[in-house]
Structure formats: C-alpha cells, structure tokens
Structure 1
Amino acid sequence: MTLEEVAAYLRLPTETVLRQAIQGKLPGRKIEDTWRFLQTAINDWLRSQDNRTILLQQAGTFSDDESLAELRASIYQARGRAESAQGSDT
C-alpha cells in the first residue's frame, strides 16, 4: 500500500501516517523516496495497539481542529452540565 492508501485506510491525515512511519511507530518501509506498507502488517499493528494509546493518538490528530471547542461545549450543554466544576472542593 502507498502512503496515501494507508492514510485513507486508517482515516488519518497523510502527514500523521508519515510521521508515525518515520518514528517507527507504524510498520512500513521507505524505498528510495516512496513509503510502502503491507496491509497485513498494518492490521497486525492495529490489533496489537493498546486501545488507550490509539485513542490518545487519534485525539492528537484533532488537537488543532478549530471546531473542537464548540463541539465539546455542545456536548456538555446537551448533557446539562458545565465543562468544569467551578468552586468544587474535589
């Protein structure tokens, strides 16, 4: 699979997949100027990852999303509670 195919398969930005591959966190090989990935290796990698680690990586993908604050506020509003417990002793 190409870099773009893996990004589409994982539903992640190409830059994120590239960064993970360069750091050795995602199984792949650079052949000359092109990255290549085996789908079976990607599937094995997905199965082997700690669910919490995957969630944190995915959350980091959205950290620069400008709509995140609005989305979070609407979720808390729908739940009928404030985002933080101000004045709480806990």
Structure 2
Amino acid sequence: MAAAKTKKKTAKPRASENGAVGSGEVLTLAEAAAYLRVSEDDVKRLVAEQDLPGRFVGDSWRFLKSALQTWLGTPVGARSGNEAFLALAGSWKDDPDIDEILRNIYKQRGRPMTEEEE
C-alpha cells in the first residue's frame, strides 16, 4: 500500500499584532521603480493615471510590495464597482434609442415619465 502524500503548509507572512507589516514589504520610490523595472517618474505617473497603490508619507513615497504584486495581476480594464458605474456616465448621451428605452422602462414600472402625465 502506497503512503499517502501530504502537502506541507507554507507559513504565510503575518502582520504583527498591531497590523504592521515587515520593513521588507515597504518599498521606497526608488525600490518600487526598480521592482517594476521603470523609472521613478513612471512610478509617479502610474500612481496618478493607473491607480498604482502608493502613499506619500512625510516627504517621500511608500509602496507595499504585496499591493504592487496585486496591481500587476489586475487587468488594465478592471475597475471597482463605483469606478465602473461612473465610467458609464454620459455613455447613452447620443444613443438614438434612449427615449424609447426610457418610455418602455417607465411603462413596465407603471409610472409616468413626467409629473404632467399623471
């Protein structure tokens, strides 16, 4: 009879009791740029334009390595629920069918579109 194989559990890095992470996990601007293999100016631009997670603390930038890894693994078009909702604002502005769509919505709800229709 073959012996059953067991997976060894690897210990996950844990935050200390107060929630602090190890100093090896916190990167400076230069370290984050080196980790991402881009310039420091590119890192600042990515923070502003592509939601790269970082904090300006005192007079310098700080980045969590794990947050950078998560950001790298997130598709470019992925957005939070609120961001996705706001991205739709104005998207139907020039839709030729929007008036008919709205009439049907109000009709299905059994409500008038305007107060005058009551």
Task: Report the TM-score when normalising by structure 1.
Answer: 0.51
- CA distance 1:24–1:30, shift in 2 (3 Å): farther
Query: Which residue, out of 21, 25, 38, partners 2:51?
Result: 25
Query: Which residue, out of 20, 41, 64, partners 1:15?
Result: 41
The aligned length equals 51
Structure 1: unaligned runs, 5 residues or longer: 52-90
Q: Distance in 2 between matches of 1:20 and 1:50?
A: 12
Q: Which amino acid in 1 is paired with 2:53?
A: P
Identity of aligned residues (%): 43
Q: Distance in 2 between matches of 1:6 and 1:18?
A: 10
Q: Distance in 2 between matches of 1:25 and 1:47?
A: 13
Structure 2: unaligned runs, 5 residues or longer: 1-26, 78-118
User: Please, what is the CA RMSD of the aligned residues?
Assistant: 1.9
Q: Distance in 2 between matches of 1:49 and 1:28?
A: 18
Give the helix-richer structure, 1 or 2: 1
Deviation at 1:50, TM superposition (A): 3.2
Deviation at 1:49, TM superposition (A): 2.6
Match of 2:74 in 1: 48
Q: Which has the larger radius of gyration?
A: 2
Q: Deviations over 1:53-72 (max 9, x none)?
A: xxxxxxxxxxxxxxxxxxxx
Q: Which amino acid in 2 is paired with 1:21?
A: V
Between 1 and 2, higher relative CO (CA 8 Å, sep ≥ 6) is seen in 1
Q: Distance in 2 between matches of 1:37 and 1:22?
A: 14
Q: Moved runs in structure 1, 4+ residues, more than 6 A?
A: none
